[in-house]
Amino acid sequence: MEVIAIFDIGKTTKKFFLFDSGLNPVYVEEKKFDESYDDHGLPCDDFEAIETWMKSVLAAVIKDRIYIIKALNFTAYGSALVHLRFEGYNFITGTGMADSAAVLVPYLKGTKEQFILIAAGNWCVFMNPFNKEPLTAEQLRGDFLCFMSVNQNLVKYSRFFLGHVHDLNLKRLKERYGVTDELYKTITIKSKQLWRMLANKQGRIFFRNGIPAGYVDNEVNLSQFLTFADAYHQLIFDLVDVCMESFRLVLASDDKTEVVYISGGFARNDTFVRSLASRLTDKRVFTSEISDPSALGVAMEVYESAFGVSMPPVYLGLRAVINDL
């Protein structure tokens, strides 16, 4: 079977994929490594161990002769470095790509509409590949940067520490109401409740003064909420309000984006996606389920040179978020 080999070097987990001609992962191997320390005593990736693992995984696939590797490509998180020796490899030499740029590739190739991608996990990352304006002073003061997309266009990028803030405040709610760890995953929100929360002119209840240093808003009196669900709805609604500050940073002054895609773990959180969609009434909002989008993205980049045919349609796993407000 002819395949594309991909190394996805994440911060926590390092993965190796083989994608077939339908862009389906037919083989996946993953490994975690203990951190090493650099010359200054600072923690860093153990590059020697990672390189040894990468070579052994690739050699094993070649030796087994089950798969014929037609192309090899890499993606890595921001603090990692993928390099080739000067003699290179006897595969179709993909140049590698940062994971943030790689994540965008399925959407850039899978839609013709202008969009904003929200990758909502531990970090909630907002990416706009259609804002060509120069950086502003406000953007430079925030957690904001630019990077180059695969087609060498600027991508505006901002982020918020959503998952960590969520988990710490959720722990407080669970202790207050005595609920199980997984209950929050089953909670949905009704349109009428969203409408009431949007109509409230008093602003946030959680994080009224911003995110505190310890991330937990202990100033909120939880006795005002009758149930865990009521408190959780408000927590998420207010976290989305904080997220919108980062979202607005990536918008152009003449914003023409029509679509918002939400991926990552929070794309499966009903309260989060519907609270976010309620703030974006001028756009169509979709959740998107793509497994390992950064690995898929770099595989797509070498697909046609590897197989010599046009790439198949891209499956983005879209589901419209509809609020009947």
Q: Can you give the C-alpha Rg of the chain in angstroms?
A: 22
Residue 89: per-residue pLDDT:
47
Residue 140: per-residue pLDDT:
74
The per-residue pLDDT string of the chain (325 residues; one tens digit each, 9 = 90 and over) reads: 999 999 999 888 999 999 999 999 999 999 999 988 888 888 888 889 999 999 999 999 999 999 999 999 999 886 555 555 555 544 457 678 888 889 999 999 999 899 999 999 989 999 999 998 888 777 777 778 888 777 777 899 999 999 999 999 999 999 999 998 889 999 999 989 999 999 988 899 999 999 999 999 999 999 999 999 999 999 999 999 999 999 999 999 999 999 999 999 999 999 999 999 999 999 999 999 988 999 999 999 999 999 999 999 888 999 999 877 5
Q: At residue 285, what is the residue type?
A: V
Torsion of CA 200, 205, 210, 211, to 10 degrees: -140
Residue 151: per-residue pLDDT:
74
Domains plus CATH for the chain? Answer: 1-95 (3.30.420.40), 97-325 (3.30.420.40)
Entry pTM: 0.88
Buried-exposed string 37-50: b where 16+ CB fall within 10 A, e elsewhere: eeeeeeeebeeeeb
Rounded Cα gap, residues 160 and 163, in angstroms? 9
Residue 177: per-residue pLDDT:
96
